[in-house]
Structure 1
Amino acid sequence: MSEVVLNELTSFLNSKRVDLKKEAISTVCQLSGTEDGLNLIIGKKELLSAVLNIMKGSEEEIKSFLFIGKKEYIPSVLNSIENTKEEIIKQSFKTLVNVTARENGVEELISLDKTLIETLISRIQNKNYIFAHLACGVLANITRFEKFCLNVLETMHKSSITIDSLFLALCQMDYNKAGQNLDSLALVLSNFTQISKGRREILNKEKDYVERFISLIDSKSKIRRKAAIFALHNCTFEREYHDWLLSEEIDLSTRLAYPLAGPDVFTVEENETLPLDLQFLGEDKKREEDNELRAVLLESLMQFCTKRKHREHLRKQNIYLILREHNLWEQDKKCVKLNEDLVNLLIKYESEIGQDDLSKVEVPPDLIEKFENLDADDTNSTEEEEECKNIVVIM
């Protein structure tokens, strides 16, 4: 696409003619769905700025898109120009979701609009805003990148925006009166845990953030489940919190094992050795259906095997029983391997392991290379197992 055409699109985006603006933003949105198109958009600051201005809108436009009360109280026939304006703003948001999937896209947007983060959070917290779900998607993508994740947290602190307020919007039933799905807000909160500062905020013992994530582990929404499981996985990297996470107050090992359990039949004696929440689960109990999430759950439990006292805790809970049955059911190669590694560690005597803290064991370089090669063969992946997780939203 030539520079002349891009300039013309930018001009149309800035036009007061709604019909020209609609055609232009539709074209830009379609472009943002391709790699080449994204390169063009991100490289054209004037065009990006125009898209941002449409997304932010004037106060009058925003008020015209508030959805108050039930649908039956809204006039059945809306003015056509208002419908067009609504579609224009929606397309601008979808464009920004795609642009923010790229780190250089986020970089450009932040440089063009220093108040973007506050604007997005304000829109999300507006209970009547009809594009709140798209604002969540943009913010979720921004927080995928460590640099900008930290930027968001710092901006929140400066603006007195609390994590509590985001959890309220996420967890309160019917928070958004326009019926907007705020599932992607869970991704924002989850992405905070990819950096140490964010993990420590979530792990604040005076708050209930960990419990909030735990409550989402068996959510019907896959997005919420994924966000919660990734967040709790990331929190296990803060090993100084392991005692608290495994305490009766949180009991995270049981919570992580629960999605791995199925309609397993144990003897009465075996059931009595399990935590109460893992006993007599019944024939309708289903395992987590997503193999990526099962792998992350297993990796998280493995993190708790770093120190001897925590390995002993898992043995006392007899988590082995859940893993044993899960292994018989599991078909995914990566999950099978993770499950077997975890079981092998739990069934060993501590005298065989020979180390209290496995994080201090030095592995010779030649063995590291050998194990990495074996893992790559088994999982068909080159990603490291021990890394913090984040999630991208794409339109």
Structure 2
Amino acid sequence: MASDDEQHVDHLQDVLYIIRTLERDSQDDEVDQRLKEEAVLGLLALSGSSEGHELITSHLDVLAVLSRARQGVGNVAKAAWDILVNLSAGTTKGGCDCENVLKLMDLNRIVKELKDRREFSDKASAVLSNLSRNERGCAHVLDALMSSTGLGDNTPSGNEVQQGKGANLKWVVDLLCLANSPHSPSLASPVSTRPPLPLLGALLGNLTQNPAAQQALLDGNGLLLLRLLPFLSYQSCSSLRLGIISAIRNLCLEHSRHSLLLSNELDLLPRLLLPLAGPDEFTEEENEGLPLDLQFLPPEKQREADPSGRRDLLEALTLLCATATGRRTVRDANTYLILRQLHSWEADEQAKQVCEALIQILIGDEPSPDMDNLLTVPIPPDIQSQLAANQEQ
């Protein structure tokens, strides 16, 4: 009996033969289309397993056929896009197949599919989101996105970003707001009838691990970031909301821009605190010490439901406390009150630990002047080893 690997190879060669034959010679369109659908669906079934994924990505000729098939129409194109989504999800491990997939994905064409809101723009956003999860793929995706600017006639007016890096990701933010904000007046365009693109949140969350993306979104006095802030409390789609929370957490890593992030113009601090606040009752004096948006919250007020979202929000606040100025600003907002109530409510152990550490920063003694920026303090090698060992446990 043939082994599973031999059967997979035979299946792959059969499917490839059918697709190539149909590409080369088309006699009966109806029969050809049906055979092509069966062939691509066979590849789709293979791509759903780790063995099939490895098999497909090791054959550049199959990837080339898929790249052409996705440019078609109907079920063949849809199945080809689904295969690419599966293959791109496998590159998150950073394995040897990543280069093969990236080589034949034609990222510029995928970006165009997304930017033009074509039929498979949701599949394109999934592919880009998957590919950008690891460092190597993120760099490739970011280059492709930043080399494509503007949404043409569908670009929302207002909030123009100054010329610079920010303009290169402006169209991504434009598209995210256009596709996922049903009450936006810019949705008068026919493009508003197309499905939302919630994975753009995850895409931005992945991209902002790269310093170039951080700088791009903070260019132009943070106007792009300002447009993303409402999504911190966006209840219509959790994946979109969590992606934006992750992105803003990553932006807080850019400590040189903390003065901008904590400015009155962006008003980021209350936006980070609001999802962490519950229907807690405070004295009138305590309420008056809170930012206006957090005063006298209604009894039905709920906290961020996802533990990972709460952790990211707490980590963002912790990052903003890296400098003496940041710690003072966070303290002055009566943040401790919100954290105290959150800590007593929190059931997720990891989120609780992050909350405890942040509280200690706020109520503890200030570090010595030579440690003003905690993000730039060198960590001794023995402490680094201990932290790495703790993280692995």
TM range (shorter): 0.7 to 0.9
Distance 1:37 1:215 in 2: 41
Aligned to 1:338: 354
Distance 2:330 2:59 in 1: 55
Cα offset, 1:323, TM superposition? 0.3
Aligned amino acid, residue 363 of structure 2:
I
Deviations, residues 290-345 of structure 1 (Å, cap 9, x unaligned): 11111111111111121112111111111000000000100111111111111011
Aligned to 2:242: 226
Cα offset, 1:219, TM superposition? 1.2
Distance 1:187 1:22 in 2: 31
Gaps of 5+ in 1: 62-85, 383-395
Select the residue among 34, 38, 41 that pairs with 2:49: 34
Aligned to 1:316: 332
Q: Alpha carbon RMSD of aligned pairs, Å? A: 2.3
Of 99-108 and 155-164, more deviation after overlay is shown by 155-164
Deviations, residues 197-235 of structure 1 (Å, cap 9, x unaligned): 111001113452111221111112111111111111111
Q: Check the 8 A contact 1:56/1:119 in 2, yes or no.
A: no
Aligned to 1:195: 210
Select the residue among 306, 312, 336 that pairs with 1:290: 306
> Is residue 21 of structure 2 the alignment partner of residue 6 of structure 1?
no
Distance 2:138 2:383 in 1: 35
Deviations, residues 14-43 of structure 1 (Å, cap 9, x unaligned): 325112211121121121111111001101
Mapping 1:256-295, distance limit 5 Å: 256-295=272-311
Distance 1:190 1:245 in 2: 17
Mapping 1:1-395, distance limit 5 Å: 1-2=5-6, 3-14=9-20, 15=22, 16=26, 17-57=32-72, 61=73, 86-101=74-89, 102=91, 103=94, 104-112=96-104, 116-127=106-117, 129-160=118-149, 162-172=168-178, 173=182, 176-177=191-192, 179-206=194-221, 208-220=223-235, 221-350=237-366, 355-370=371-386, 373=389, 375-376=390-391
Distance 1:256 1:356 in 2: 23
Deviations, residues 166-189 of structure 1 (Å, cap 9, x unaligned): 222221245645532211122223
Aligned to 1:391: none
For residues 19 and 309 of structure 1, do their structure 2 counterparts lie closer, same or farther at Cα, with a shift above 3 Å needed?
same
Q: Check the 8 A contact 2:209/2:250 in 1, yes or no.
A: yes
Aligned amino acid, residue 266 of structure 1:
F
TM, length-normalised to structure 2: 0.82
For residues 47 and 367 of structure 1, do their structure 2 counterparts lie closer, same or farther at Cα, with a shift above 3 Å needed?
closer
Q: Check the 8 A contact 2:149/2:170 in 1, yes or no.
A: no
Deviations, residues 236-274 of structure 1 (Å, cap 9, x unaligned): 111100011011111222211111111111111100001
TM, length-normalised to structure 1: 0.81
Cα offset, 1:105, TM superposition? 4.4
Distance 1:109 1:324 in 2: 48
Q: Secondary structure at the match of 1:359?
A: helix
Structure having greater relative contact order (Cα 8 Å, sep ≥ 6): 1
Deviations, residues 124-175 of structure 1 (Å, cap 9, x unaligned): 2334x32221111112122223333333333344444542222222212456
Cα offset, 1:45, TM superposition? 1.3
Distance 1:371 1:286 in 2: 34
Distance 1:371 1:88 in 2: 50
Aligned amino acid, residue 78 of structure 2:
K
Distance 1:106 1:233 in 2: 27
For residues 52 and 274 of structure 1, do their structure 2 counterparts lie closer, same or farther at Cα, with a shift above 3 Å needed?
same
Gaps of 5+ in 2: 27-31, 151-167
Deviations, residues 362-388 of structure 1 (Å, cap 9, x unaligned): 444444444555x54xxxx65xxxxxx
Distance 2:149 2:320 in 1: 35
Corresponding residue pairs, total: 347
Deviations, residues 63-100 of structure 1 (Å, cap 9, x unaligned): xxxxxxxxxxxxxxxxxxxxxxx222211111101111
Q: Check the 8 A contact 1:99/1:105 in 2, yes or no.
A: no
Q: Check the 8 A contact 2:221/2:260 in 1, yes or no.
A: no
Distance 1:362 1:139 in 2: 35
Aligned amino acid, residue 97 of structure 1:
V
